[in-house]
Chain A
Amino acid sequence: MTGHDVSDTVPLRADLVIEYPFIRTTGPVVGAFLTGLREAVLVGIRRVDGTVMVPPVEYDPVTSESLTEVVEVSSTGTIVSWTWVDPPRPGSPWDTPHGLALVLLDGADTPLLHGVLVDSADELATGLRVEAVWRD
């Protein structure tokens, strides 16, 4: 190979930092739900037909209308359907076998998916009453 001797030349250098140069917000509705969790309060949102959807979203999933009326619901509810997760999945927040259920909270019209912490599948049943357990 011919050309200039570049052995003494300092190589060009450009540092690359991979980043997301924006801050993501959860918005007025999901944000209200997450803020509620911090305060140990569960909220849903009122749909155009008057029913309350939990967890809330900013739009009606059927009519697409914007929804804004955040409604507090109870932290007790009833299991609508369930399964048993054993062993717990690798990403699961729980490290022991647990139930996973659709829970219709009192005051809500749509069920919420969540873990149900009991010792065995034998303790789970549709219609079982459950209550939220809050982290200290």
Chain B
Amino acid sequence: MREVAVVSSAIHQVEALTFTTDVQLMVPLINEARSAVGLTQADIGFTCSGSSDFLAGQGFSFVQTLDAVGAFPPISESHVEMDGAFALYEAWVKLQIGEIDTALVYSYGKSSPGSRRDVLAVQMDPYTVAPLWPDAHAVAAIQARLLLESGAVSAERLAEIAVRSQHHAVGNPNALRASTDATVVSVLSEAMVSDPLRPSDIAAESDGGCVVVLAAGDRARSLCERPAWIRGIDHRIDAHALGVRDLTRAPSAALAALKAGAPDDHLDIAEMHSPTTSQEHILATELGLGPDTVVNPSGGALAADTLMAAGLVRIAEAARRISNGEADRALAHATSGPCLQQNLVCVMEGQ
């Protein structure tokens, strides 16, 4: 396996980018990530992005956003209609082929113009489920009740997850929900949004984007003092229909973690893309996280969840903590689909 590392990243997440186009959002972020390692687009071997036409409101919207990269003279480029973490996977595969040494990965999402929880209903089965218009909070709530009533977790434990996220997010400039004052009692006193989920159980919706620069072998060493080496990356998927899988589990997350080598050694930190506290509990179990792994030191997706970018942000956040010496071994996770249907796990190390 060819050694590939995250050598640079840039993140921007806010509540709403009302008057900013996707290009205007991405130009400074792409420049920031490239110039941090002294690269221009001419030095980039492959560019891969992730975004959603549903959010942009038009087909092939990613083509316009390429203006933020600078696509002339022509560049080698690809796009996934998925979270940027999956675009990073494609770039990693491209680097494995060995013809290029650098890759630029970015993704962005601006869901604030619409009602995201309702838009997400269209990802359900179009014949028997979507016509009921089950919004994302309702579907997650049905999963959370199954988890609570199975006895696998208590409401207090879920509140603890929310509180920990809010505490960790303090100081993170890209976090929307951060507080040193949050307590289990204050979270449990919140009115339900979708019974049994309270506002603090559900990720704070944000607009934003993320950029990651990858480099292979000696190129990575020359660009970065301490690259975050990707030691394993894998993604797996479970059945789409809600009724045919045990919603208290996420077997695809466990399998991806196993294939990425997560259980092989101690994990200092884990950045998980969990849209709800209940899903974070399921993930922590499936990923096999021990009590000495610091979970979501950035606050995680609960603190700011940018549709199409939250997974890539997890990789960037974990890689930063490796590059600055805070962690030696880290797990980053991304999810897609309803109730943790699809999961990607990326394991990174400092050496």
Residue ranges of A at the interface with B (Cβ–Cβ < 8 Å): 26, 30, 33-34, 53-55, 57, 61-62, 80-85, 89-93, 100-102, 110-115, 121, 126
Write out the residue numbers on chain B whose beta carbons fall within 8 Å of the beta carbon of A126: 145, 149
Chain B residues numbered 164-216 whose CB sits less than 8 Å from any CB in chain A: 192, 194-197
Contact (Cβ within 8 A) A81 B142: yes
Closest to A101 in B: B142
CB pair B242 A83 closer than 8 Å = no
User: Cβ of A93 and Cβ of B244 under 8 Å apart?
Assistant: no
B residues within 8 A CB of A82?
142, 145
Q: Which of A33, A91, A102, A121 contacts B142 (CB 8 A)?
A: A102
Of chain A, the residue at the smallest CB distance from B197 is A83
Residues B241 and A57 in contact, CB atoms below 8 Å apart:
yes
Q: How far is the CA of A83 from the CA of B117 in the complex (A)?
A: 15
Instruction: Report the bound CA distance from A62 to B121 in whole Å.
Output: 23
Contact with A along B135-151 (1 / 0, CB 8 A): 10010011101100100
**Chain A residues with CB below 8 A from B244, complex form:** 53, 61-62, 110
**B1 proximal to A (CB < 8 A):** no
A93/B132 in contact, CB under 8 A: yes
Q: Which residue of A lies closest to B239 (CB)?
A: A61
B194 near A84: Cβ-Cβ < 8 Å: yes
* Known contacts A61-B240, A61-B241; A121/B132 CB under 8 A: no
- Known A-B contacts A81-B145, A81-B146, A83-B145; the reply to A89 vs B135 at CB < 8 A is yes
Establish whether residues A30 and B128, one from each chain, have CB atoms under 8 Å apart when the complex forms: yes
Task: List chain B residues, Cβ under 8 A from A62.
Answer: 239, 244
| A83 and B121 contact, CB distance less than 8 A | no
**B337 contacts A by Cβ under 8 Å:** no
Determine which of B125, B127, B132, B247 lies in contact with A115 in the assembled complex, contact meaning CB atoms within 8 Å.
B132
* A113 and B129 in contact, given A80-B146, A102-B242 (Cβ under 8 angstroms): yes
CB atoms of B127 and A85 under 8 A apart: no
Interface flag for B290 (CB, 8 Å): no
Inside 8 A of B115's CB, which chain A residues have their CB? Answer: 90
Q: In the docked arrangement, what's the CA distance between A81 and B150, Å?
A: 11
Cβ-defined contact, A89 with B243, below 8 A: no
B118 lies within 8 A of chain A by Cβ = yes
Kindly list chain A residues whose C-beta atoms are within 8 Å of the C-beta of B195. Answer: 83-84, 121
22 CB < 8 A contacts A-B:
A34-B127, A53-B243, A54-B243, A55-B127, A61-B245, A62-B244, A82-B145, A84-B192, A84-B194, A89-B117, A89-B118, A90-B118, A91-B118, A91-B133, A100-B132, A100-B138, A101-B142, A102-B142, A102-B242, A113-B132, A113-B242, A126-B145
Docked complex Cα distance between A110 and B118 (Å): 25
Residues in B neighbouring A110, C-beta threshold 8 A: 241, 243-244
Judged by a CB distance under 8 angstroms, whether B263 is at the interface is no
Contact A114 B127, CB 8 Å, known A81-B145, A82-B145, A84-B195: no
Most B-side CB within 10 Å, residue of A34, A57, A115: A57
Q: Give Cα A102–Cα B141 distance, bound, in whole angstroms.
A: 11
Give chain A nearest CB distance to B276 CB in angstroms: 12
In the bound assembly, the distance between CA atoms of A13 and B60 in angstroms comes to 27
Closest to B127 in A: A30
| Residue in A closest to B247 when the chains form the complex, CB atoms | A81
A26 to B127 Cα, complex, angstroms: 8
Residue of A whose beta carbon sits closest to that of B125: A55
B residues 92-126 in Cβ contact with A at 8 Å: 115, 117-118, 121, 125
- Interface 0/1 of B235-273, CB less than 8 Å to A: 000011111110100000000000000000000000000
Q: Which residues of A contact B133 (CB under 8 A)?
A: 89-93
